[in-house]
Amino acid sequence: MGFTAGFISDLENAKSKPSFDFLLKIVDVFNVNLNWLIFGYGEIFYREGEVDIEGESLLSGLEDNVLDLIKYMKESAIAKHSILGFALRFLQENSKTINKEIALNKAEKDAQTQKKGGQS
């Protein structure tokens, strides 16, 4: 998978937290449901042919989980602070990867738009 033994050891011993890239690699290599990996909901593994390359099926059922999170945040200060704290840490630790993905997606859309414009 391209990760060093030291990195894996640090994860196992809670010396570091997995990055979003690492989680996506787990999903890709082992056909694991990202929803289960992050939130503990749904099936652990995808069935054959269930994963969509564009990630649409990775989000299936996520709406219910988001509604649950909102409900817990409204009803519990502990849940609210924990969830927001996790989200902020996640964004801080993964902002470069997220921004890179956003830029790549925009570049792909721009290229497709230009390609379509050139075909007219």
- Token digits for 108? 């792909």
Cα(first)–Cα(last) distance of the chain, in Å? Answer: 43
Mean pLDDT of the chain: 77
In three-state secondary structure terms, 120 is coil
Instruction: Count CB atoms within 10 A of the CB of residue 35.
Output: 20
Least confidently predicted of 15-24, 44-53, 101-110: 44-53
Least confidently predicted of 14-23, 47-56, 80-89, 100-109: 47-56
Instruction: Report the predicted TM-score, pTM, of the whole model to 2 decimal places.
Output: 0.41
Average pLDDT for 97-110: 86
Share of the chain above pLDDT 70, in %: 82
C-alpha span between 108 and 106 (Å, rounded) = 5
What does the pLDDT read at residue 116? 81
Q: pLDDT tens digits for 47-84?
A: 655 555 455 555 556 667 777 777 888 888 887 888 87
Average pLDDT for 92-115: 85
Average pLDDT for 41-46: 75
